[in-house]
Structure 1
Amino acid sequence: MERCPACTSARSAWPECGGPCLAGPAPERPGRCVMLRGRRRVGKSRLVERFAERSGAPFLFYAATGASPRDDLARLARDAQASTLPLAGLVAAARPESWDAAFDVLAAALPADRASVLVIDEVPYLMDTDGAFEGMLQRAWDRVLETKPVLLVLIGSDLSMMEALNSYGRPFHQRGREMVLGPLNPAEVGQMLGLDPAEAFDAALVTGGLPLICAEWPRGAGLWDFLGEALSDPVSALLVSAERSLAAEFPPQAQARKVLAAIGSGERTFTNIARAASGIGATPLQRALELLTDKRIVAAELPVSLRPSKDRRYRVTDPYLRFWLHLLGPSMEEIERGRGDLTLARIRESWTSWCGRAVEPLVREALARILPDAGLPAAPAVGGYWTRTNDVEIDIVGADRAPIAKELLFVGSIKWLEQSPFDRHDLAALHRQRAALTGEPVPVMAVSRSGVDCPGLDAAYGPGDLLTAWPL
């Protein structure tokens, strides 16, 4: 659970903690720093700004733009003028031309006799390859900022760069507390929207747990009612959030964006992605895939088995972005001219097959969280297994480690159909696939949206069982 960066109040109470926590500990160095990361549109900036507003402490909220250093420093002066720091005019009057000078004048503007909050949003935009900004930040923190009763909050959406900011060997190493703000999990989505367990998973796949999109979902409304309403509004959060995130991450002509679109369309192998991305060459494709995986936008996965494999497959990590790339993005022109009904009809036609594949990562995560139980042991690794030709494909493989396991703990199948339970035909297919993976009689299990209609399983789970993985 996310906590207040100063007093560790629970996330739900963070904006209401009232601010006494900002008094700071040791008087000689009362400053504290928090490095908050999380993917775009998850609500980081809004959460921190509301906390600062409700704390009662004077604060400055600055958001980098990714433009030139001169433009970013000019933006700092403008944001300072709009802040509640009592000496904010110093920043605007000084017009600093470097971050060294900017930190000096910021330190002078921070009160020494009361707590204050200084927020720098989109920090990765300011980080350069030679580490100059990080070095200036470290010097300013060590020499001046930490001696003031200030809470410095550094926010960033580029997960790998924010992790690098606090990594060993970097100038700002161990000078702040790392925090991660994730999207709403399926249980939180279900509670917020008043949905039953199966519908909660549907909503989590469509919204990705992004608060802005969930806020547009009428409480108690079904999936198709929500989609019908959202697709009739070209500026709904469901439609615009992905495009804004992509625009912030990649220019339209970027190779990585073309590759991401190919993966989002359903292609999972290197060869098929290259074909779908207009025949992009092997070297630029490899670079693009490395960039996407480094940014945690794409996951590169290997089958879990007792033998090594090179059959790597790629998927978009964010369920909402995956939904948008496959089912919404290609239809934006149609939606903008008022024909969202056509888009909705196509989503209905492909929903079962798309949802059955998209729900797999959530199911695996849930199992990793809830095991062990009466039926299955704890599994340090929960993945899947496939062959290059897909003649064998096992939805769930639990093992002692991944991707090359020493011991397989169980195998399982996911059947996510609304009207069809897991039956004896599905069980027979699972036994055949297990035999292709291992000769050992490892336990077999099933995850079914509509229940189980056969004996012979060591364990079975439905949507309600899976939701217990995320206690509220």
Structure 2
Amino acid sequence: MQRFIGRRHQLRVLSETLASVGGAVGSARPGECILLRGRRRVGKSSLVEEFIRRSGVPSLFFTAAGGSAEDELTELLDSVSHSTLPGRALFAEEAPQQWNAAFRLLAEALPDDRPSVVVIDEVPYLMDRVDAFEGMLQRAWDRLLSRKPVLLLLIGSDLSMMEALNDYDRPFHQRGREMVLGPLNPADLAEMLGLEPAEAFDAALVTGGLPLICRDWPHGGSLWDFLEASLANPISALLVSAERSLGAEFPPQAMSREVLKAIGAGERTFTNIARAAGGVSHTTLTRATEVLTGKRVVAAELPLSTRPSKERRYRVADSYLRFWLAFLEPHMAEVERMRGDLTLGRVREQWTAWRGRAVEPLVREGLARLLPDQGLPAAPAVGAYWTRSNDVEIDLVGADREPVAKRLLFVGSVKWLEKSPFDSHDLAALHKHRAALTDEPVPLVVVSRSGVTCDGPQAVYGPAELLGAWQRR
């Protein structure tokens, strides 16, 4: 069996919560609920399966499939029959025809004298297909399930719907604690794939830290080894995962798909996106970007400074999806006719330039995690700054808040080239851009893949130091 990598914190939280449930056996309301959300294929189900395997307690794992309310209920009954709950035979005897009755029987099937785990996966499907599902779930929890020593895990990939489940005006409000599962981080990838720090960041940019894709990466292998093998296989996880995820969230005819393609191709401004998407109207584009940002597929960002700005820029939020849209999706036909070598050559030609910008959000996240460090204070906001004409672009801006800061804490530059260190010319450009942003002598920060050959920056980070942001300290 393959070793389970990462997720130590999440496994610990789940284990501690289950222990709390077990310690409350015999009390009035020992049950606890966790709302687990994360993008598709990020490993939510695998995490929970591993947790259940380690816990050894009676459990039920039910996954909604997006069918009718009747079909979903049939699947629930089948899942119960294959569960390890001690009272699972009750469902075979009564075969409930309504969800309220199914929840009642489920509560009866749970043990009273020891903890158990009940998992409902893809909850947004049930919210969408089963009338009054949230209300029925709330009543079942309040009156029945929470009175049993059960850990109820509600899992969903539609981030906005899972967040809405816990909104103050929804029936299930404040009945569960929220847990967000992100992709495997660069430190996880370094351990899992046997990579050096710089190569771990490359892996993060291409795979997005999605476990299913990472499994195909040869241990200790290079980026190009991985890409060559994946592009030679038309059904590799690298090629098919994005289409499956998008197909589940956006129908092929939806304008959101065209807008996403335009952003993935490198368009960042509203006007350019509209043009690249086929000249869509302002109203249509606004609606599409709202859908994409609401589902957390696209990030809409403003320049971080002490002055308000309307120069909003868009980017694909997921690293893997960004890579797939830029290099793979436009050329799937050649991969399918076994000419992945052509696609690989295109990646090689454009890789350095694409990576230089693609790594910046990951660098900002790393810095936010590391600080305070090297004399720099903690920064509640780490972003970037740009002007409409792009005559001033600053990769790193630390501030006390965003998007309009009261105080800037530092500015910095990211130079992510393999054979070109940050030098005095780069430092002069950073000084010039800082002067265009602020009159204050805020500290200068440099993040460089190949080191620094000049004096002046207050703090310098390379791949190894940045990787430490995700390692246990």
Q: Which residue number corresponds to residue 12 of structure 1? A: none
1:301 and 1:102 mapped to 2: Cα distance?
Answer: 45
2:128 and 2:244 mapped to 1: Cα distance?
Answer: 23
Q: Which amino acid aligns with 2:310?
A: K
- What does 1:206-245 correspond to in 2, within 5 Å? 206-245=206-245
1:394 and 1:79 mapped to 2: Cα distance?
Answer: 53
Q: Which residue number corresponds to residue 22 of structure 2? A: 23
1:190 aligns with 2:190: yes
**8 Å Cα contact 2:445/2:459 also seen in 1:** yes
- What does 1:48-59 correspond to in 2, within 5 Å? 48-59=48-59
1:320 aligns with 2:320: yes
Identity %: 69
Q: Which amino acid aligns with 2:348?
A: R
The alpha-carbon distance between structure 1 residues 336 and 465, as it changes in their structure 2 partners (threshold 3 A), is: same
Query: Deviations for 1:425-447, whole angstroms, at most 9, x for unmatched residues?
Result: 11121122122212222222221
Q: Which amino acid aligns with 2:32?
A: R
Aligned mate of 2:16, from 8, 15, 18: 8
TM normalised by structure 2 equals 0.93
User: Shift in Å at residue 234 of structure 1?
Assistant: 1.5
1:392 and 1:402 mapped to 2: Cα distance?
Answer: 19
Q: Which residue number corresponds to residue 108 of structure 1? A: 108
Q: Which residue number corresponds to residue 70 of structure 2? A: 70
2:129 and 2:406 mapped to 1: Cα distance?
Answer: 40
- Secondary structure of the equivalent of 2:447? strand
User: Shift in Å at residue 232 of structure 1?
Assistant: 1.0
Q: Which residue number corresponds to residue 4 of structure 2? A: none
**8 Å Cα contact 2:14/2:51 also seen in 1:** no
1:250 aligns with 2:250: yes
Q: Which residue number corresponds to residue 166 of structure 2? A: 166
Q: Which residue number corresponds to residue 260 of structure 1? A: 260
Query: Gaps (5+ residues) in structure 2?
Result: 1-8
Q: Which amino acid aligns with 1:157?
A: S
2:52 and 2:374 mapped to 1: Cα distance?
Answer: 46
1:172 and 1:388 mapped to 2: Cα distance?
Answer: 44
Does 48-57 or 430-439 show the bigger shift?
48-57
Query: Deviations for 1:325-381, whole angstroms, at most 9, x for unmatched residues?
Result: 111111212111111111100000010111000000011111112122234332221
**8 Å Cα contact 2:11/2:51 also seen in 1:** no
Q: Which amino acid aligns with 1:291?
A: V
User: Shift in Å at residue 314 of structure 1?
Assistant: 0.8
- What does 1:321-340 correspond to in 2, within 5 Å? 321-340=321-340
- Secondary structure of the equivalent of 1:412? strand
Does 354-363 or 245-254 show the bigger shift?
245-254
Q: Which residue number corresponds to residue 363 of structure 1? A: 363
The alpha-carbon distance between structure 1 residues 6 and 326, as it changes in their structure 2 partners (threshold 3 A), is: closer
Q: Which amino acid aligns with 1:408?
A: L
**8 Å Cα contact 1:20/1:55 also seen in 2:** no
**8 Å Cα contact 2:303/2:309 also seen in 1:** yes
Taking only aligned residues, the RMSD between alpha carbons, in angstroms, comes to 2.0
**8 Å Cα contact 2:31/2:149 also seen in 1:** yes
- Secondary structure of the equivalent of 1:126? helix
- What does 1:25-424 correspond to in 2, within 5 Å? 25-27=24-26, 28-92=28-92, 94-128=94-128, 132-424=132-424
Q: Which amino acid aligns with 2:331?
A: S
2:223 and 2:58 mapped to 1: Cα distance?
Answer: 43
- Secondary structure of the equivalent of 2:136? helix
Q: Which amino acid aligns with 1:255?
A: M
Q: Which residue number corresponds to residue 16 of structure 1? A: none
Q: Which amino acid aligns with 1:345?
A: G
